[in-house]
Amino acid sequence: MQKNPYGQIEKGDNHTFRMFKDEGDKVGSVPWSQKIFQNDTSHKCPTYVTQTPPCQGSCPSGHNIRGWLDIVRGMEKPSADMSWQEYAFRRATEANPFPSIMGRVCPAPCEDGCNRNEVEDTVGINAVEQFIGDNAKKEGYKFKINAKDTGKKVAIIGGGCGGLSAALQLRKQGHSVTVFEKYDKLGGMMMYGIPDYRVPRDVLQYEIERIIETGVETKMNTKVGVDISMEQLEKEYDAVLFAIGAMSGRSLPIPGGDASNCVSGVAFLEAYNQGRLQHMTGKVICIGGGDTSIDVVSVARRIGNIKNVADKDRPERIIFDDTAHDVVDTSKRLGADVLLTTRSTIENMPAAQEEINDANREGVEIQGQLSPIEVIKGKDGRAIALRFVRLEDDGSTPIEGSEFEIECELIVPAIGQGVDGEGMDAEFFNENGFIDADKNFQVPNKPGFFVCGDAVRPHLLTTAIGQAGIVAESIDDYLSGNSQKSRSKVDVHYFDLLSKLNEWDLSPSNYKKGNELGEGTDTAEYAVHNYEDRSFASIIPHTELFLGHFDHEERNTRNHKLVDVDNVLGNFDERLIGYNEEDAQKEAARCMSCGLCFECDNCVMYCPQDAVFKVKKDQSTLGRYVDTDYNKCIGCHICADVCPTGYIQMGLGE
């Protein structure tokens, strides 16, 4: 797979990635048209240009990461009497209403894109986000709904992170929302697909209830297509959103893969998270390599192994028959024998490296470059062994004569997920069992029907959240009778200077005819002078920053409660220990504020003509900290050279 200059894998799918590269641009060199070689002066003067930082461009939810880091560090101040902690919460949850959960479990593609990696190490974005969310729970922050009731009703099928995020945005628009959920609890994969020691249930429940309290109606234990028909929804609601996720695991597509004790990783984790699966029997083999497979083997190690169990208590009985284990005394359990296999080399496993390290420490055996080729069954139809073939380093070419078998009691393939479309019209689904979507997440040729999340294509939780924000806007346009918006090239929640000025009662005055002062002016009050917003169109690379400004600062990593082979059995404590307030502010201060002024004064201090000056305090706010006197500026471009954030560009006077 190819990686673009920001470190993000390019997959050619606009539904799951937010970052786009300008055609023809060469990152790492300034375009010839912007170079200045006219002695020590030129006709060009500085302009202040905001661009999207690569952390936001790498985030599938389009999080305004720079924005809430700036608030935590104390650079952007809230208006009125709001605390910075609440202000950061409000800013963060514009895109993601689950900061506590995403701060814990998101694999943080934003950190991969962070320009701070060019200095020493990424900013701990996830850790700061967790602090914002955990503090919000502590303080009891709620969402505020100020919109008038539109009288429109929206049905959302599925109460996972995508469906709930869309529900919140639709409530903010004034629409009535009903969520139909087939389980008895909301949360989707957050509730049923991730272990409780990674997602504390009290935290998850709080963040879910905060959304429901905005007036979202729920219909629990209601499976659309079985308990209520699609025709009923279409008749009773003005729009329908599919947010059904991909909660069906895929079986092992090899001979014998239908063995009774061959269960999907999704089904395994669902049974555990429902409290039904409480122990293993014999050796467990998990096939995968992604985060789900790591969760499976970690759970297996924690719940342990019981010998000589009755047939009714075998794991597959519990999982498939929807029954539950009796509570078993921990003293009777032994450490489970767990093997994780993957087709790739261990170094190239898709799971997060930190999770792989934890699994190794907890006693999970991991073997790479193996492909299962046959499930060996006993006379009773149960699997008794799994046959493998070794692969070349490419992860696809079998090595002739390398086949071997491993005896086992349970096989758990974690090799992909599918959509449960039982009872729904087949015409909604494509040949792969998913639902097609256009750029606005409308279902093609199905007016009034929309889709988001894993039903489009399985990906990250934050991807579903990002799509939910887009689809909520699309539904609002549909219900309002407006044409669908053309999405921006860089489709994120970016800094809006006019909104910031309005927040501080500093908005430009209304334009009045007759106020024209020639082709350009730096004195009229009806314009924001010397400023351009390119956030919707470009992402700023590290080559546009003055990296020499930044000192080497070690990352303040979250404390990690280590679990090892000696204490893993029965250990369901949360492993991540979140920041305190001081740590959060210290780590946020490492953000380089790429593409937006962070008020360092370099341009003011180094300007030889005193042309760059600070805006008066009563007129200043974030993004309007400095300005330029064109009568003094000689176009020497020193201010642009010493700007650490790439905010100053020599553009005026073209």
Reported as a pLDDT band with limits 50, 70 and 90, residue 235 is very high
CATH architecture of the domain formed by 251-415:
3-Layer(bba) Sandwich (3.50)
Query: Is the pLDDT at 21 greater than 50, yes or no?
Result: no
pLDDT mean over 36-63: 81
Q: Helix axis angle, 125-139 relative to 65-72, nearest 10°?
A: 70
Share of the chain above pLDDT 90, in %: 75
Residue 239's pLDDT is what?
98
Residue 41's pLDDT is what?
52
Query: Is the pLDDT at 225 greater than 70, yes or no?
Result: yes
Reported as a pLDDT band with limits 50, 70 and 90, residue 307 is confident
Residue 512's pLDDT is what?
53
Q: In a 3-state reduction of DSSP, which class is residue 389?
A: strand
DSSP 15: T
Q: Minimum mean pLDDT among 56-60, 135-139, 392-396, 564-568: which range?
A: 392-396
Residue 525's pLDDT is what?
67
Angle at the Cα of 214 from the Cα atoms of 584 and 472, rounded to 5 degrees: 85
> How large is the greatest C-alpha to C-alpha distance in the chain, in angstroms?
93
Residue 316's pLDDT is what?
83
Query: Is the pLDDT at 201 greater than 80, yes or no?
Result: yes
Instruction: Identify which has the larger pLDDT, 515 or 319.
Output: 319
Digit-coded pLDDT (tens) for 497-545: 888 888 888 887 765 555 554 445 566 665 677 888 999 999 999 999 9
**Does this chain's domain 153-248+419-480 share its CATH topology with 251-415?**
yes
Reported as a pLDDT band with limits 50, 70 and 90, residue 654 is very low
Query: Is the pLDDT at 449 greater than 60, yes or no?
Result: yes
Residue 614's pLDDT is what?
94
Residue 24's pLDDT is what?
41
Radius of gyration of the chain (CA): 27
Digit-coded pLDDT (tens) for 69-120: 999 999 999 988 899 999 999 999 999 999 999 999 999 999 999 999 999 9
pLDDT averaged over every residue in the chain: 89
Residue 309's pLDDT is what?
77
Share of the chain above pLDDT 70, in %: 89
- Tell which phi-psi region holds residue 304, choosing left (phi > 0), alpha (psi between -120 and 50) or beta: left
Query: Is the pLDDT at 409 greater than 90, yes or no?
Result: yes
Digit-coded pLDDT (tens) for 326-363: 765 555 678 899 999 999 999 999 998 889 999 999 99
Residue 284's pLDDT is what?
97
CATH topology of domain 153-248+419-480: FAD/NAD(P)-binding domain (3.50.50)
Residue 249: is it exposed, middle or buried by C-beta count within 10 angstroms (0-12/13-18/19+)?
buried
Digit-coded pLDDT (tens) for 120-134: 999 999 999 999 999
Query: Is the pLDDT at 36 greater than 60, yes or no?
Result: no
Digit-coded pLDDT (tens) for 556-610: 999 999 999 999 999 999 999 999 999 999 999 999 999 999 999 999 999 999 9
Query: Is the pLDDT at 252 greater than 90, yes or no?
Result: yes
Per-domain boundaries in the chain: 32-141+494-652, 153-248+419-480, 251-415
pLDDT mean over 427-437: 94
pTM exceeds cut of 0.85: yes
Residue 444's pLDDT is what?
95
Distance CA 126, CA 443 (A): 33
What CA dihedral angle connects 222, 228, 234 and 236, to 10 degrees?
A: -80
Distances (CA, A) of 480 to 6, 57, 180, 238: 38, 30, 23, 11
